[in-house]
Structure 1
């Protein structure tokens, strides 16, 4: 495979897709509880994150995920996606509806969403810091923006490390990401859409919209969460995922 990943446990497959400010380590608090609950857990690093560098050519995240599942001989999977990873999960579920038997979205991004002034400002500040060579300042901005009030110091340090690694990879020369149009209505999998009450309004609005467009979807807002609940309350997020996986069929 051309992307890095790890696999833990046995049983029905669950694939965890990280956010755009982290890598697969963001799920460290959920892997063992999922394995103990009887699931086979797959965690890739998407291109430009963690242990997966950018290629010199255009790449397609959804193709990478589908290719990894085929490589692992996984024919049915529950996808869990955080933010950027949620966008990838949505595309996979829309393009290969027979492959995905469940979908969980945590603060998911969505192609075509027009960013609010607040989100645009965060992006502009990050870009300016990166261009000035202040990667530490840019990474701290991501911590301050995307971690909710329940996150502890260890979570902040984890995001700093993961974001700094992403900057290291993404400031090197590499190809761009393919953007394929897809329809939310094409998604057939039962879907849990999760938003955080302390997240930016953009992601709360996306959650409401996505839940309204997928036939078998419901939306839950976590009153304690920011943008990255898996790092803010790891055990509570693990319980949320296991509860969805064990739902009555």
Structure 2
């Protein structure tokens, strides 16, 4: 299966991977600026999000992204990942290091299992209870309240609400499929990496970002004091500038 995707522009490629409460529409605020900056920009919906159907057999998201790049003829790219998409980006960079020229991670999840904080477990337990009770609307609101930071207005909250509802529609209608376990060494990701965290995010994601400079050969960490979990939507102009700076010089961007 080829992931549903958009591609536009000319020049070196940048790939945008969405968070687990969004889909490729989350990158709307950055799309025009990145294409105008002389980049070929690719964004996709991972399986079970947006316009990509949920998995019907064991599969791996990083494999899907690699296959999409092969289909598009993209040999090398900067990869930008938000949250769940950040975990996928890290896996891509670790498994195919020669294909990733830069890694910009926005409140990334970890591609390897980690113990969850009590705060994160409480959110997931509450989500499970709402879903099992048939209250999908309540689960959507829980996700919006948890993952959208204080800088975001009603328009952003509604956008996340729409994308999360779509993900539930796809995923809850599909049969459960076990994950495909893939072994890789995260330290094999050699591309320059900027790991961004948000001061208002759950501690799990702040901890992941802060640890990456110790795990990767060429990584820096910066925390945004105003950000929640979705900084590219919460202050899109500021994060767009950061992305453009990173594309110009991955080791100099703030």
Query: With structure 1 as the length reference, what TM-score do the two structures score?
Result: 0.97
- Residue 59 of structure 1 and its aligned partner are, at CA, apart by 1.4
1:114 maps to 115
Do the aligned residues in 2 keep the contact of 1:59 with 1:177 (CA within 8 Å)?
A: yes
Q: Provide the C-alpha distance between the structure 1 equivalents of 2:145 and 2:89, rounded to a whole number of angstroms.
A: 26
1:89-128 maps to which residues of 2 (within 5 A)?
89-110=89-110, 111-128=112-129
Q: Which runs of 4+ in 1 moved over 4 A?
A: none
Residue 160 of structure 1: aligned partner: 161
Q: Which residue of 2 aligns with 1:136?
A: 137
Partner of 2:8: 8
| 5+ residue gaps, structure 1 | none
Tell me if the contact between 1:184 and 1:210 (Cα under 8 Å) persists in the aligned partners. no
Matches within 5 A, 1:223-238: 223-238=225-240
Gaps of 5+ in 2: none
**1:10-89, aligned counterparts within 5 Å?**
10-89=10-89
Deviation at 1:2, TM superposition (A): 2.3
Cα pair distance change 1:248/1:131, threshold 3 Å = closer
Shifted more, 44-53 versus 174-183: the winner is 174-183
Alpha-carbon RMSD across the aligned residues, in angstroms, is 1.2
User: 2:149 — aligned with what?
Assistant: 148
Question: C-alpha distance in 1, partners of 2:201/2:124?
Answer: 15
The equivalent of 1:171 in structure 2 is: 172
Deviation at 1:181, TM superposition (A): 2.9
Structure-2-length-normalised TM-score: 0.95
How many pairs does the alignment contain?
Answer: 249
Matched, 1:210 2:197: no
Deviation of the 1:248 alpha carbon: 7.0
CA-CA distance at 1:183 after TM superposition: 1.7
Give the match's secondary structure for 2:194.
Answer: strand
Deviation string 1:117-139 (CA, Å, 9 cap, x unpaired) is 00000000011111111111101
